[in-house]
Amino acid sequence: MRNSKKTLLLMVMSLLLAGLHAQVVIKGVVKDSKNNPIPGASISIKGSYDGGTADTAGRYSFKTTEKGQQTLVVSNIGFKPSEQTIKIEGNTITMDVTMKQEISELTAVVLSAGTFEASDRKRAAAILDPIDIVTTASANGDITGALKTLPGAQQVGESEGLFVRGGTAAETKTFIDGTLVNNFFFSSVPNIAQFGRFSPFIFKGTVFSTGGYSALYGQALSSALILESIDLPDQSSANLGFSPLSINAGYQHLSKNKKSSFGASYSYTNLALAFAIIKQRQNYSQSPAYHNLDANFRIKTSKTGMLKYYGYFSSNRLAFTNQSIDSLGYLDKFALRNTNHYHNLSWKENLQKKWRIYTGISYTNNRDNINSNMQDQAEKDVLLTGLEFKNFGLENKGNYFNAKAMLEKRMKGLSAIRFGTEYNFSHDITEYRDYIGGAYRYNLKEHIKSLFAEGDVYVTNDVALKGGLRFEHSSLLDKVNIAPRFSIAYKLGKGSQASLAYGIFYQNPERRYLPSPNNLDFMRATHYIAQFQKSINQQTFRTEIFYKKYHNLVKTDIVGFTEAAINNNGFGDAKGFEFFWRDKKTIKNFDYWISYSYLDTKRDFLNFPYAITPNFAAKHTASLVTKKFVQKLKMNFNASYNYSSGRPYYNIGRDALGYKFNDQGRVPDYHNVSFAINYLPSIGKKDAKSFAVYVLQVSNIFNIRQTYGYQYSYNGIRKEAITPPSRMFVYLGAFISFGVDRSDEVINNSL
């Protein structure tokens, strides 16, 4: 008994020893599918400690005491783990391994044709950081101001909006958390571009499509601006801001369990003081004054679900006079009162089996009250014979409701399918009062119902395709449209890729030209875009060529008192190429980008006598944006230069035969140099109870004369340049926040 135990023990011991002696060397090379070595790959015998790491040439070698049939596991970050059976015997085994890349957002090709993204996501299209929106000197803290420094957008300064690739501002639509925004800008004022209503700090992601956008969006012939609002804040905080123009105060509360937050802020802006110092072209009897109030809540409804509400209310007014161009010695008065509510509620949640749901509703109520009068030099209303039509009142009331629901199913890799439905309702009531008190009322209701579906297919990390289809029905036109969209991207090498996009886009005639005496159709545009992009080591180069064909543009004529759409006989096209170069590398802590656009476009629409290059399209547009942070001074120096070649201008008149040119020409080239300094004295002070930012901004620092176009007297005899309200503008402000370091957030937080 005792003996046998001993024997067994001995046997076990000798087996163990034998095992130690009989080591087998396993070696080989680990490569990817393109035969490049994978340094750092981990090789192991499953379930054992034995294994090794591939060197810079992908070679590995290790010894093992394991025997017989085993599993060799090879893994590395960014690759699919590979397992293979291996029979361990003899002295040396050579085993080469080929690994497949994991399809991931980080490495996969991106469908980026026509798309600029400003977000923290590491993607080829994300060539801007969210902070770039507010640190671009010429932007004045406005979202579209920053986007105007990118290729594709025009430097139009006499009216608000994004004019993209030969398209009008109305051809660009804005979406917040998936749903359409109806009054993104403050209400239009003649010849003065208005700012966007929303602070750039409420958005964490911005996608600016200059064409070829996805089937998820519609009703925009040229461009889509897609904004995503921020989620929960990092911390509760309060903030205050002062400047000669405005005061603001806000509070954000984050719940203790960090699952919900709410907040509100209020600002009052009055430009009286600024206009007293910086002479304006207009003479203000009521300087622009704005009360803005917003409120929000955000609730994490589960680990993956998020419910967000953002509400906005604004009440603002202004009134000014200009020396009348129509009658010497008299004044033209323009007065505007506006109130606007906007509410947006969105919810997203992961469902079972890789399904995800996105829903959102938004409601807007907008009211504009406009008064136009002739006045004498004592600013008393007068009625001049032959110019009676210049005395009128206009009241616009708009109610807009949008709803969207979408389901998404994630497939293997990054592939996915999405489909959903959208409903847009608009109700516009316009009341026009003429000089003898006659009132004309228009009432316009529209329901647009849409269905859409799209699929993303990632064949490998190197090839991606997107195909989509959108179907819309308009109750006003009583017509349907079907719009296909398609894009493809191919990875050419490390950091470089080529992509193509094609799509058909429909848009209803602008409501300002409705109602029409005739039956109208959708306007239509077809986009073709080809892009090449290379992005390595903090440097990005991108170039695009495009062709856009317009069909069924709206033609207008005088119907009653107003210009109204009469048919869809308009047409046009736009073609061009664009470059973008961004470099954060060459000069340390200095960041700059250059963009250039060439545009060749002609169209016949509205009251154009025939196809011409429209007055909002410059042939050459370029921008240089620079950013420099000097640590020692705790100061940010941002400068930008914008250029556009002279745009054409026209005076279109009407006689018995129809519309004709009374005058035409080309305005001088446009140059603008802007400069901004932000001083952040408390940056980095961890225990600081408050955080202050001081901002100094100067636009058109060299006082260059800028001409946007010309306006003509009613009889066409006199003409006057349309210029900015002041040549140079200086802005000074201080912002203080308590509780959390929101330095980035407070820069430029007014205007």
Task: List interacting residues with another protein (CB under 8 A).
Answer: 1, 4-5, 8, 12, 16, 39-40, 42, 44, 47-53, 55-56, 77-78, 106, 120, 122, 129-131, 234-235, 538, 584-585, 588-589, 629, 631-632, 634, 683-686, 741-744
Q: Which is nearer to another protein, 380 or 632 (CB)?
A: 632
Nearer to another protein (CB atom), residue 29 or residue 448? 29
CA end-to-end distance (rounded Å), the chain:
96
CB of 99 to another protein, least distance (A): 14
CA distances from 281 to 15, 278, 698, 705 (A): 99, 10, 18, 13
Task: Provide the token pair at 677.
Answer: 């300094």
Extract the tokens encoding 182. Answer: 């109806």
What is the C-alpha to C-alpha distance for residues 581 and 539, in angstroms, rounded to an integer?
7
Secondary structure E strands in 411-461? 416-433, 439-458
Pair 459, 489: CB distance under 8 Å: no
**Least distance (Å) between residue 93 CB and another protein:** 18
Work out how close the CB of 489 gets to another protein at its nearest, in angstroms, rounded to a whole number. 18
140: Cβ contacts below 8 Å, ≥ 6 apart: 195, 674, 697, 699, 731, 748, 751
Phi-psi map region of 216: left, alpha, beta (phi>0 left; psi -120 to 50 alpha): alpha
Least distance from C-beta 750 to another protein, angstroms? 21
Query: To the nearest whole angstrom, how small is the minimum distance from the Cβ of residue 16 to another protein?
Result: 7
User: Least distance (Å) from another protein to the CB of residue 9?
Assistant: 8
Q: State which amino acid sits at residue 583.
A: D
Q: In angstroms, what is the minimal distance from the CB of 11 to another protein?
A: 10
| Distances, alpha carbon 414 to alpha carbons 179, 417, 655, in Å | 24, 10, 60
Q: Which is nearer to another protein, 207 or 345 (CB)?
A: 207
Interatomic CA distance for residues 566 and 515, integer angstroms: 9
Which C-beta is closer to another protein: that of 130 or that of 145?
130
Q: Which is closer to another protein, CB of 665 or CB of 684? A: 684
Cβ neighbours of residue 104 under 8 Å, at least 6 residues apart?
A: 78, 414, 461
Q: What angle do CA 165, 167, 170 make, to 5 degrees?
A: 135
Q: Minimum distance between the CB of residue 294 and another protein, rounded to whole angstroms? A: 21
Which H or E element spans position 18? helix 2-21
Nearer to another protein, 253 or 449 (CB): 253
Q: Which is nearer to another protein, 85 or 631 (CB)?
A: 631
Name residue, tokens 């009440």.
315
Taking the least distance from each CB to another protein, the nearer of 52 and 576 is: 52
Place of tokens 């996805």: 214
Between 56 and 352, CB nearer to another protein? 56
Residue with token string 């035409």: 664
CB atoms within 10 A of CB 328: 9
